[in-house]
């Protein structure tokens, strides 16, 4: 029998996964010492296989706690540990953009590979590498997608929405979401100047499909994997509003919406802002846990 280990900050999702897989769940207890260190207490009598379910947003403390948990589990005789981290941290820093910058993706990936036999995540931010196994070597590293869950969710809300991706990277998700229903879609081009300065444009010659699409009076859905500062989405909304659509909704897989990102988007008159439960957030509207459960059910919990 496999056991799920959950943590307080991601417990509803871990419990849902346990329910979907019909396996038990127990909680890892964390105690913060006054100096910032963490005491990690595992349940006793762990089975040979466990699944640790915790998303890796705000990752620095969590990574240490997961490593301590995995090591302590091995000391109890656990032989196979799967990490289910719907949001996988440090995947964006996949090259040294200037001299001296650490390639965090490789470093964190190697660290995870030393402690986990298998890592399952949802739409990690992989741009310069194709496969998650390139980032997390010698591990069963599995990438799942939120697109099916997004399509089902949107289908319950709209008849014929127009799906928009704010940058070239979003094309993979936009196409997968639009294709099953032949919804129209288009992809913008984005230039990022800094963490908070981006330019999103629909008029680029490389994006001829946009010119064919009339957004006036349409229900527009902007799709992205991550909303962090929200600037990408803000710029897309500003451009789209010029065409007087009927409504503008935003749907993302991983919702950070740092600082006042959500307020800025609301102030622009965005009708809906939805996200998956990969990261707990007030915008969570649909779950990706079923997607994880289907994978684990199909291939076994080992
Ligand atoms: C970038 O390529 C990603 O797909 C997102 O568009 C990006 O991470 C969003 O960041 P922000 O919300 O800070 O503009």
> Of all helices (H) and strands (E), which one includes residue 201?
strand 198-201
Does pLDDT of 302 surpass 70? Answer: no
pLDDT for res 86: 98
Residue 167 Cα, ligand 1 centroid: separation in angstroms?
9
- Predicted confidence (pLDDT) per residue in 32-53, tens digit: 999 999 999 999 999 999 999 9
Does pLDDT of 205 surpass 60? Answer: no
Q: Report how far residue 92's alpha carbon sits from residue 35's, in angstroms, rounded to the nearest whole number.
A: 30
Does pLDDT of 240 surpass 90? Answer: yes
The confidence band for 209, taking pLDDT boundaries of 50, 70 and 90, is low
Tell me the best of 225, 252, 253 to mutate to test the pocket of ligand 1, counting ligand atoms within 8 Å of each CB and taking the most: 225
Query: Which amino acids bring their CB within 6 angstroms of ligand 1?
Result: 167, 169-170, 198, 224-232
Angle among Cα 74, 80, 81 to the nearest 5 degrees reads 80
Residue 73 Cα, ligand 1 centroid: separation in angstroms?
36
Strand intervals (E) in 33-117 = 38-41, 49-53, 80-84
Give the CB-side neighbour count of residue 167, counting CA atoms within 13 A.
Answer: 17
pLDDT for res 301: 66
Of 24-28, 207-211, 243-247, 275-279, least confident by mean pLDDT is 207-211
What is the percent of the chain with per-residue pLDDT over 90, rounded to a whole number? 90
* 194 DSSP assignment: S
Does pLDDT of 113 surpass 90? Answer: yes
Tell me the best of 124, 164, 227 to mutate to test the pocket of ligand 1, counting ligand atoms within 8 Å of each CB and taking the most: 227
pLDDT for res 126: 87
Q: Which atom of ligand 1 has the smallest separation from the CA of 196? A: 13
Q: Which atom of ligand 1 has the smallest separation from the CA of 229? A: 13
Q: Report how far residue 175's alpha carbon sits from residue 285's, in angstroms, rounded to the nearest whole number.
A: 21
Q: Tokens 């869950």 identify what position?
A: 149
Mean pLDDT of 135-151: 96
Give the CB-side neighbour count of residue 99, counting CA atoms within 13 A.
Answer: 0
Q: Which atom of ligand 1 has the smallest separation from the CA of 198? A: 14
Residue 232 Cα, ligand 1 centroid: separation in angstroms?
6
- Predicted confidence (pLDDT) per residue in 289-299, tens digit: 999 999 999 88
Angle among Cα 259, 245, 247 to the nearest 5 degrees reads 55
Residue 68 Cα, ligand 1 centroid: separation in angstroms?
31
Q: Report how far residue 105's alpha carbon sits from residue 241's, in angstroms, rounded to the nearest whole number.
A: 36
Contact 126, 141 (CB under 8 A): no
Residue 270 Cα, ligand 1 centroid: separation in angstroms?
18
pLDDT for res 202: 85
Contact 121, 85 (CB under 8 A): yes
Per the model's pLDDT, the better-predicted residue between 207 and 180 turns out to be 180
Count, in order, helices (H) and strands (E) of the chain: 10, 16
Among 259, 260, 251, residue whose Cα is nearest residue 233:
251
Q: Which atom of ligand 1 has the smallest separation from the CA of 231? A: 14
């Amino acid at each position: 029998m496999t056991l799920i280990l959950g943590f307080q900050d991601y417990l509803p999702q871990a419990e849902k996964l346990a329910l979907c897989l019909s396996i038990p769940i127990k909680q890892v207890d964390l105690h913060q010492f006054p100096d910032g260190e963490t005491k990690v207490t595992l349940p006793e009598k762990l089975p040979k296989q466990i699944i640790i379910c915790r998303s890796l947003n705000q990752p620095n403390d969590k990574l240490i706690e997961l490593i301590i948990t995995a090591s302590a589990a091995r000391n109890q005789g656990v032989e196979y540990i799967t990490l289910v981290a719907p949001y996988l941290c440090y995947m964006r820093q996949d090259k040294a953009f200037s001299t001296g910058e650490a390639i965090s993706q490789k470093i964190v990936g190697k660290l995870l590979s030393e402690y986990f036999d298998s890592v399952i995540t949802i739409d990690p931010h992989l741009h310069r590498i194709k496969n998650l196994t390139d980032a997390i070597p010698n591990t069963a590293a599995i990438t799942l997608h939120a697109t099916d869950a997004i399509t089902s969710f949107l289908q319950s809300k709209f008849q014929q929405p127009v799906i928009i991706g704010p940058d070239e990277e979003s094309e993979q998700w936009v196409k997968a979401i639009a294709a099953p229903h032949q919804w129209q879609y288009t992809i913008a081009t984005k230039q990022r100047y800094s963490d908070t300065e981006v330019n999103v444009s629909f008029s680029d010659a490389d994006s001829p499909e946009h010119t064919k699409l009339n957004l006036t009076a349409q229900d527009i859905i902007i799709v992205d994997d991550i909303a962090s500062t929200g600037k990408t989405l803000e710029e897309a909304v500003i451009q789209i509003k010029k065409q007087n659509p009927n409504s503008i909704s935003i749907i993302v897989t991983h919702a950070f919406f740092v600082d006042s990102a959500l307020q800025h988007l609301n102030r622009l008159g965005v009708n809906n802002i939805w996200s998956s439960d990969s990261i707990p957030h007030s915008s969570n509207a649909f779950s990706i846990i079923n997607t994880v459960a289907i994978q684990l059910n199909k291939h076994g919990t080992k």
